[in-house]
Amino acid sequence: MNRKIKKLIKEFEGYAKENGFRLNPDSKIAKETIRGLLENEKKHGQRYCPCRRVTGNKEEDKKIICPCIYHEKEIKTQGHCLCQLFFK
């Protein structure tokens, strides 16, 4: 799983940079969040945000596939997304 975590960190760092924010500077928290994403992928088939409830309704749950539809607004208003993966 470490290899998957490292790969996702690189992907999310690139995504964050392209969108004007950054990955959580606390690598321990970032890794824990990514570990949660991978667990959700294993359990539910998608990388659902670990901070959001999976309903089982595929259409509704699309909204919480990381990066979820809420992260940009949360970063703008709170300085980070709910999962604390992305920061201003």
What is the span of the domain harbouring residue 49? 2-87
pLDDT at 66: 97
The packing angle between helices 2-18 and 27-44, to 10°, is 110
Q: What is the CATH number of the domain that holds 32?
A: 3.90.460.10
pLDDT at 41: 97
**What's the rounded Cα separation, in Å, for the pair 61 and 56?**
7
Domains identified in the chain, total number: 1
Q: Which two tokens stand for residue 2?
A: 């470490």
pTM: 0.91
pLDDT per position in the chain (88 positions), as tens?
689 999 999 999 999 999 999 999 999 999 999 999 999 999 999 999 999 999 999 999 999 999 999 999 999 999 999 999 999 9
